[in-house]
Amino acid sequence: MFPAIMKPPPTSAGLGAGLRLRTASIVCGVDSRGAEQPALAVARLFAERLHEPLVLVHAVNPPVHDGMPSALCDALSAYARELFTDRLVDLAKTGVETIADVRTGGQAEALSESALTWNARLIVLSTRRCGADERSMHNLVHDDVVVAAAAPTLFIGSEAPFKRWMAGRRLRVVAGMDASTTMLPVLRWISWLRHVGPCDVVVLRFDDESGVSERSFRRAVQDSLGAHRVRVRIEKGWNWSDAHVIGLASEERADLLVLGGASGGACPWRGVLRYAPMSVACIRAP
């Protein structure tokens, strides 16, 4: 039987003590149709490698049901819960500790609340390809999660590069930064990623004469990541452009594009989340 833990983990008085008692987790958003399969596969890989629980978050009675008769909403929610339970049983067979977190409301809100409850190290979602109307709604969810998330958010286009990475192949990581990027959280997250598995890293900076010298930038990258299999690429005379970032990441044959920015406010990477062919990680500063 799968372990389904429905109450928050224990905390104690004092922030430091609470953090020591709370095990970190990998949070993955799922639905009743299995559209998140790439994200689920990658989230399971992280949970296995880090020996941390995998929290599956499912939102019932989402806003898409607004306007429906209450009896129909209840029936749809019950059906979704049943499908969700069946999939948890299958996951338990893999040996990963699985936590079921079923919440009422929209997906973005459910994921943000669950990330806080379960001390998420990482939130994993799929960038699924779908029809025009569904894509619009899905992208809005992505934007909302990035803005509200209490943890780095990883959007998976394909699980294949991550499976090869966990098996020992190097993951090709490109970090995109402009003058507004809070650099250190991004570099620290990439440093953590390199402890999980081997990575080749290209740090991409758009040099818009913001006042940060190229020498200082290169030193900060080296201090955080070292020099081995790390390269800095400066795009002189360019301001940030989502299309340009995607093009350069594709040129570098990136498996993962990492973006950073200040917390709060609108999602600054909407174009990248919508159109990037590779997986994308969004790191918001605290």
Q: Quick check: 86 pLDDT over 90?
A: no
pLDDT band at 158 (very low <50, low <70, confident <90, very high): very high
| Close Cβ partners of 15 (under 8 Å, ≥ 6 residues apart) | none
- The residue with greater pLDDT, 246 or 82, is 246
Residue 105 has pLDDT above 80, yes or no: no
DSSP 142-191: HHHHHHH-SS-EEEES-SHHHHHHHTTPPEEEEEEE-TT--HHHHHHHHH
pLDDT for 114-153, tens place per residue? 999 999 999 999 885 444 334 433 444 566 676 667 789 9
Percent of the chain with pLDDT over 90: 37
Q: How many CB atoms lie within 10 A of CB 30?
A: 27
- Is the pLDDT score of 6 beyond 50? no
Give the residue among 137, 27, 32 at the shortest CA–CA distance from 78: 32
Model confidence pLDDT, tens digit, residues 194-208 = 999 999 999 998 776
C-alpha to C-alpha distance for 33 and 136, rounded to whole angstroms: 18
pLDDT for residue 2: 32
Structural domains of the chain, ranges and CATH numbers in brackets: 15-156 (3.40.50.620), 160-284 (3.40.50.620)
Predicted local distance difference test score (pLDDT) of residue 196: 96
Asked if pLDDT for residue 71 goes beyond 80, the answer is no
* Least confident interval from 121-125, 186-190, 239-243: 239-243
Least confident range of 70-74, 237-241, 261-265: 261-265
Residue identified by tokens 């689920």 is 40
pLDDT mean over 10-28: 52
Phi-psi region of 229 (alpha: psi -120 to 50; beta: other; left: phi over 0): left
Q: What is the pLDDT of residue 12?
A: 30
